[in-house]
A = this chain, B = another copy of it.
Amino acid sequence: MTTIGEMGEDALIAAFAPRLPVTDSEILGPGDDAAVVAVDGDLVVSSDILVQDVHFRMDWSSPEDVGWRAAMQNLADIDAMGAVPTALQVTLAAPASLDADWVLRFADGLREACEPHGVGVVGGDLSGARDVIVSVTVLGETHGTEPITRADALPGQLVAVSAPLGAAAAGYVQLAEGREIDAESIGLFRRPRPRIGAGLEAALHGATALMDISDGLLRDAARIARASEVGIEILGADVPLHEGARLVAIELQVDPRPWALTGGEDHAMLAVFPRASMVPGGWTVVGETTDAFAGIRVDGEEPDRLGWDHFGA
């Protein structure tokens, strides 16, 4: 094994850079003070950070998994505006003792996630740190169409999700308990596979509000409710549960509903549509907006717990 400390920054970059995905939008790529990227329309930009032992464990996720996840959750953020992702800035901080091979395989994961979408890594930064930290900023473009925010839902509209929920939480529970009941949900915890393009689809179908579910359906729906100044009533029985999560819950004899309602990281899209005929095929209506109350209710009740708080207990 060669550590990144032994290898040194310049040699590490020289080995790392050729494994990164490239994009047609790139005018000047990694290696200068800044990258230069062509933008069609306005720039859409978002950032996410992954921290060792907070967002991933080195013994649960391969380096490719970490790269994949860092890329994919950022691509979902651009899709969640109804925009098109084009490029990533990727910053890696790591201890000098980290195996250089980890960094190269991390690049492979970035490439596997990005290449099918024509997205490239155009730059970033490297640094020392006690833990492995991956910070990604994703760039996208509107192509001249209006981005869909969280703020324009109106009362009396339908709330829908693009895919079944709860797989990532079911995968996490299996890894935490050291059991493999359903391989697919473990795989989806390690490598979320949101359908990139579902957000653009919602936008083209006239969604009034749109976001991706990263911190749990309830917490994220509450964000739409607050931004749009509406209430959202979720019908618990209508929330689609991932089939693998259902199997895991049966085996563990636990209730899987919290996984679908408050488990994060599935990165399915959550959208509000004015009426049923506008909901795209394959999406599931899970509730409606109202002016009768503020915030979130599930089957008429205020939930005890919304989901993931990044600094909370």
Measured in the bound complex, the distance between the Cα atoms of B147 and A125 in whole Å is 20
- Name A181-222 residues within 8 Å CB distance of B: 210-212
Question: CB < 8 Å: which of B12, B123, B151 contacts A47?
Answer: B123
In the complex, whether A135 has a CB less than 8 A from a CB of chain B is: yes
Find chain B residues with CB under 8 A from A125 CB: 47-49, 135
| Cβ–Cβ contact B140 & A34, under 8 A | yes
| Cβ–Cβ contact A38 & B34, under 8 A | no
| Cβ–Cβ contact B32 & A36, under 8 A | no
In the complex, whether A303 has a CB less than 8 A from a CB of chain B is: no
- Name A112-132 residues within 8 Å CB distance of B: 122-131
Nearest residue, chain B, Cβ from A131: B130
- Name A1-19 residues within 8 Å CB distance of B: 4-5, 7-10, 12
| Cβ–Cβ contact B131 & A89, under 8 A | no
Find chain B residues with CB under 8 A from A83 CB: 34
Find chain B residues with CB under 8 A from A9 CB: 309-312
| Cβ–Cβ contact A47 & B81, under 8 A | no
Measured in the bound complex, the distance between the Cα atoms of B51 and A9 in whole Å is 16
Find chain B residues with CB under 8 A from A312 CB: 5, 8-9, 96
A residues with a Cβ closer than 8 A to B are 4-5, 7-10, 12, 27-28, 31-39, 42-49, 51, 53-55, 77-78, 80-81, 83, 87, 89-91, 93-94, 96, 122-131, 133, 135, 137-140, 142, 147, 149-151, 210-212, 227, 309-313
Closest 8 A/B residue pairs (Cβ): A34-B46, A135-B135, A33-B80, A137-B137, A47-B89, A37-B43, A33-B77, A51-B129
